[in-house]
Amino acid sequence: MKQLVVFFGGIGDTILFAPSVKLLSKQGEITFVGYPERAMLLREVGWVREVYSPEQVDFESIFDIPSDRLRGFLAKFTKAYFFIREAEKILKTARESGIEEIVTLPGIPPSDWDLHASEYYLSALELKQDEEFLLPIESKFKHNWCEKAT
């Protein structure tokens, strides 16, 4: 299954969303539309195959008259997750582009959410994390922070 995830959160939100992306990646290949400098983290650990900026796919046209480029891009996917508030126009365009399953959710937890934000994304997607989550990133730098000065 080819999945599309559209998420425009900040770096902190992207990290909180990472456990959900990891679980979604087990269901099929993920293409991500968002801010590349944030989403590349998810690609780097292998949970996202491709990352596009909104400009690369004409995403902003989804709110007016969807461009041919956007329609062609959306037509590649069988399932899409849109983390965005204005969902009516998105739903219509995604359906017209042939996406079979569409999930639209606000990009951030509601104001009355009292659990951890990462739990919001898991809950909203009806996912269950069955192990402790660790972001598998190795440092490219050697740190001597723990060494005592002599």
| pLDDT tens profile 27-80 | 999 999 999 999 998 999 999 999 999 999 999 999 889 999 999 999 999 999
Q: What is the pTM of this model?
A: 0.85
What is the rounded distance in angstroms from the CA atom of residue 121 to the CA atom of residue 119? 5
CA 50 to chain centre: 11
pLDDT of residue 148: 54
Q: What are 143's two structure tokens?
A: 């740190």
pLDDT of residue 55: 97
Q: What are 18's two structure tokens?
A: 């990472």
Q: What are 103's two structure tokens?
A: 């999930």
User: What would the mean pLDDT of 4-27 be, rounded to a whole number?
Assistant: 93
> Which residue has tokens 């939100």?
13
Fold of 2-124: Rossmann fold (3.40.50)
29: Cβ–Cβ under 8 A, 6 or more apart, which residues? 1, 2, 3, 49
Domain locations along the chain = 2-124
60: Cβ–Cβ under 8 A, 6 or more apart, which residues? 54
| pLDDT tens profile 74-113 | 999 999 999 988 788 899 999 999 999 999 988 778 888 8
